[in-house]
Structure 1
Amino acid sequence: MERSPTTTTEQQQQQGRRRSGAGWRRWAVLVATVWIQAVTGTNFDFSAYSSALKASLGVSQEALNYLATASDLGKALGWSSGLALIHLPLPAVLLLSAASGLAAYALQYALILDYLHLPYPLVFLICLVAGCSICWFNTVCFVLCIRSFSSSNRPLALSLSISFNGLSAAFYTLFANALSPFSPSVYLLLNAIVPLVVSLVALPAILCHPHDGHLHVVPKHDKHIFLGLYLLAFITGIYLVIFGSFNTTNSTAWVVLTGAMVLLALPLIIPASSSCSHVDTHDPEPTAQLNHDDSKKPLLLNNNHSTESNAMIQKTVEHPMQDCCLGTILEKGRMLVLCEEHSAKKLIQCVDFWLYYIAYFCGATVGLVYSNNLGQIAQSFHRESQLTMLLAVYSSCSFFGRLLSALPDFLHRKVSFARTGWLAAALVPMPMAFFLMWKLHDVNALVAGTALIGLSSGFIFAAAVSVTSELFGPNSIGMNHNILITNIPLGSLLYGQIAALVYDANGLKMSVIDNHNGMIDTMVVCMGPKCYSTTFFVWGCITFLGLVSSIILFLRTRTAYSAANGQQVINTTAKFRVDRTP
């Protein structure tokens, strides 16, 4: 029995409406993750209130460093968010994240205003819970992006979402300038309330996110939409750099804050236009058919045949340097193909993983510790009044670094360069920045160094998710990436301890009165370049080691990336020829 033309037309219209609805929802989900990430990087404004917290608790710089470490240590508990997602719906995990952050930062707010007095171990635990809530927020956003976008666009969605996390300090600085510019405690109040409010605002989009949103085809306009979103994000970053770096009056601060909120709301145009113009009903890209809808598919490779072909290609490659020492370092035990799944046991036995671990540990983690110490660094340089500007510079440059991490995905058809190579290139500015600040003890060097460190660490933070997936398998990314970021609390403890020891060794003891009990406590305060000069030199040497490790990782993996890109071209050409065959 033949179908009538009317029935066929109706079915096509229904299918178009379903695609349009799914398209609207996935872009709405992306906007929701952008909003959540923009306000949940609450660890980046620690330096804004760290001096006040130190004075309120009457502790040394070393003890303050342990509190910063506690916040980072919460990231080592990132596996708990994955466990929660197994047993709870995703919106419930989001609200639990907001509730735990609210409780942790509200208690710190009460502490800093002397409304509450708690023993130091309990304060440490509170900071740990605050750090854990950040990790839960991140996991929710990662899962939403992975579920809502196909494998070819997933890295772009992840990079965009992660990028806005780097702007959190800048947004909170604008809020603080508008509400109470001279009160460090306002940052803690904002850290407690704003993520909860934004989570509630984003909840409707998350509740209707496409559970079956992995597309069989990729609409050909998706790349254009992503390009527009990235341009809008770039404009937002420029806006925050220009207007967020200056101390303004209260009325002007509200105007600047309103402008930032408008820019943050502008991405809503995408889901609205997608719904109205049926953007997602257009034909897919020629290469889109290669990208299956399985969320477990690799980011670069798209089928098992590619993996097998790459393995055959790699095994036939001759390595003339194997007999020399350098050849042994570059060739022994290196991976033959990308996206091969690694269990935890296999991961820790992999040489490339430890090179990657060292590059992250001696790179981005140092940048994070630097941001935690920015308050004391500004104080030691007699630049406390410019702390807001330094925070805005670090936050904005970290944001731009995260945006730049999407370059490999935008340029992969024109520039065939391994993502590990981009990672190594991103590490170059960091040792330069630390050696610059070690050599030149002036505010210009401090600003330039802060910008370079933010740019470098931001790129690594955002690119790490894709690198982990490509090197060690997309199916195991949740476990493997959490193993990778265990370096953050370790680095926070080690590098922070180095800074604290140098700071305390060059500081002077000062007496302060505890407002809670009236007792006189002593604390160490250090002023002058000597407070961090040695630390900058040590951190510079450490980041140089990270650069060397990343270069070795690039040299060991570049052939696998080249083979993967070559196989993609072959598959795309073959598919195109089949489609053109009459």
Structure 2
Amino acid sequence: MVGESRKWVILLASIWVQAFTGTNFDFSSYSSELKSVLNITQLQLNYLSVASDMGKAFGWCSGVSLMYLPLWVVMFMAAFMGLFGFGFQWLVIHRLITLPYVVVFLLCLIAGCSICWFNTICYVLCIKHFPANRSLALSLSISFNGVSAALYTLIANAINSNDATLYLLLNAIVPVLISGLVLIPILNQPQPQPHSVDTIQRDTSVFLCLNILAFVTGLYLLFLYSFSYTTAIARVILIGAIFLLVLLFFLPGIVYSREWSCFTVPTSFSFYSSRFTRAVPDDDELYKELISIKEDSTRNRSAQSTREKKCCIVNMLEREKFSMLGEEHSAKLLVRRWDFWLYYLAYFCGGTIGLVYSNNLGQISQSLGHSSQTSSLVTLYSACSFFGRLLAASPDFLSRFPS
């Protein structure tokens, strides 16, 4: 049971990492100040936002690093890349140092690369400790990357709502602090263990409860942010958000204890009920006949289900040349598959365009005369991104809980 509890701590540690390292979402909160200090055009500002997103193109470096370095070392490398990239931008925007545009472009690139490195670390943790429920673990962890901007906005408002450059300082420092916070559970990872069917079903129930609590957290950030008019109110709302994130750590234990209490009652009942005897001899024949019919029916359904699964597996092997879902594939095989290019096209036309829009929220609100509402727009976009990522797990839950 120790390993079971520790794997949930690992998942929740990855959730915290995702929740406080999605620093690319708040670019529009300080983009106007950056444009003014650097004295650049809108086109040049767009290039800086592209550089921040283009850092993901070097995300493969994190995977290579994990082949030769411990996971915690790679995590702190990502944290210090963000500290370096965002920290120097904060110095530039406060006019403490002067850097040319090209150097600022490289700083944005490094900062964007750190985000992708954190994502890789969370992917590895989820896949390693939840092989049977990897899709549920990944969707839950990744979804919290969308609330980063809302959390950073609350933190900034709780400190000084009039200082937009504070976002850069938070982007530099907070990921380092979170990395130190989750260091102990990452250093004490449990060894992956084979899971029974009961364990997988129990884990699915825990994931359902975690998703419900995550949904409540998103609603909390979305609706209560509008009440953070003053620093005092923003601090109270921030404490509530932190409480909901901490509550995630206790939820698996609550679900497990509830299931154990429900499990012990039927066990005791069956023990005492087995002491009763059937007084009528004819009941024995009827009882045996019913049991025989039930066993035959169960055996037939099991055989039919096995044949259907074999046919599906054979068809998949013949058509896709895969031996199992989640199998690693070479780059050469990947680029020859049409579904890879379909995903690439969908992401290019969907997610990439969405990033361009989010990065220019500051300029859009300023051009419409609502520059004071930029943080509200960023929070709204962040919350919608969170809900979209969270709902991505719906097909998995529907398949595991048939009607």
TM over 0.5, yes or no?
Answer: yes
Q: What is the aligned counterpart of 2:4 among 23, 37, 61? A: 23
Structure 2 residue aligned with 1:169:
149
Q: Say whether 1:78 aligns with 2:65.
A: no
Structure 2 counterpart SS, 1:405: helix
Structure 2 residue aligned with 1:202:
182
CA contact (8 A) 2:228 2:237 kept: no
Q: Say whether 1:345 aligns with 2:332.
A: yes
Cα offset for 1:199?
1.2
Structure 1 residue aligned with 2:114:
133
Cα gap change, 1:260 to 1:311, in 2 (>3 Å): closer
Structure 2 residue aligned with 1:237:
218
Structure 2 residue aligned with 1:365:
352
CA contact (8 A) 1:245 1:390 kept: no
CA contact (8 A) 1:173 1:388 kept: yes
CA distance in 2, matches of 1:195, 1:356: 30
Aligned length: 356
Gaps of 5+ in 1: 1-19, 284-304, 317-333, 417-582
Cα gap change, 1:335 to 1:307, in 2 (>3 Å): farther
CA distance in 1, matches of 2:196, 2:402: 26
Structure 1 residue aligned with 2:367:
380
Cα offset for 1:276?
7.2
CA distance in 2, matches of 1:315, 1:23: 33
* Cα deviation code 1:274-320 (max 9, x no counterpart): 797896xx89xxxxxxxxxxxxxxxxxxxxx999733644799xxxx
CA contact (8 A) 2:206 2:252 kept: no
Cα offset for 1:211?
3.0
Cα offset for 1:225?
1.1
CA distance in 2, matches of 1:407, 1:111: 44
Which amino acid in the other structure matches residue 149 of structure 1?
Answer: F
Which amino acid in the other structure matches residue 357 of structure 2?
Answer: Y
Larger Rg: 2
Q: What is the percentage of aligned positions where both structures have the same residue?
A: 51
CA contact (8 A) 2:3 2:191 kept: no
Which amino acid in the other structure matches residue 386 of structure 1?
Answer: Q
Cα offset for 1:217?
4.8
* Cα deviation code 1:516-564 (max 9, x no counterpart): xxxxxxxxxxxxxxxxxxxxxxxxxxxxxxxxxxxxxxxxxxxxxxxxx
Answer 1 or 2: higher relative contact order, Cα 8 Å, separation at least 6.
2
Q: Which structure has greater helix proportion? A: 2
CA contact (8 A) 1:28 1:271 kept: no
* Cα deviation code 1:437-482 (max 9, x no counterpart): xxxxxxxxxxxxxxxxxxxxxxxxxxxxxxxxxxxxxxxxxxxxxx
Cα gap change, 1:22 to 1:341, in 2 (>3 Å): closer
Q: What is the aligned counterpart of 1:114 among 90, 95, 102? A: 95
TM-score relative to the length of structure 1: 0.58
Structure 1 residue aligned with 2:392:
405
Cα offset for 1:355?
2.0
Gaps of 5+ in 2: 265-306
> What root-mean-square deviation, in Å, do the aligned CA atoms of Structure 1 and Structure 2 show?
2.6
Structure 1 residue aligned with 2:36:
55
Structure 2 counterpart SS, 1:75: helix
CA distance in 1, matches of 2:17, 2:193: 20
CA contact (8 A) 1:315 1:336 kept: yes
Structure 2 counterpart SS, 1:411: helix
Structure 1 counterpart SS, 2:182: helix
Structure 2 residue aligned with 1:389:
376
Structure 1 residue aligned with 2:166:
186
Cα gap change, 1:57 to 1:28, in 2 (>3 Å): same
Structure 2 residue aligned with 1:442:
none
TM-score relative to the length of structure 2: 0.82
Cα offset for 1:167?
0.2
CA distance in 1, matches of 2:331, 2:317: 25
Cα gap change, 1:54 to 1:411, in 2 (>3 Å): same
Cα gap change, 1:260 to 1:314, in 2 (>3 Å): closer
Which amino acid in the other structure matches residue 266 of structure 1?
Answer: L
Structure 2 residue aligned with 1:159:
139
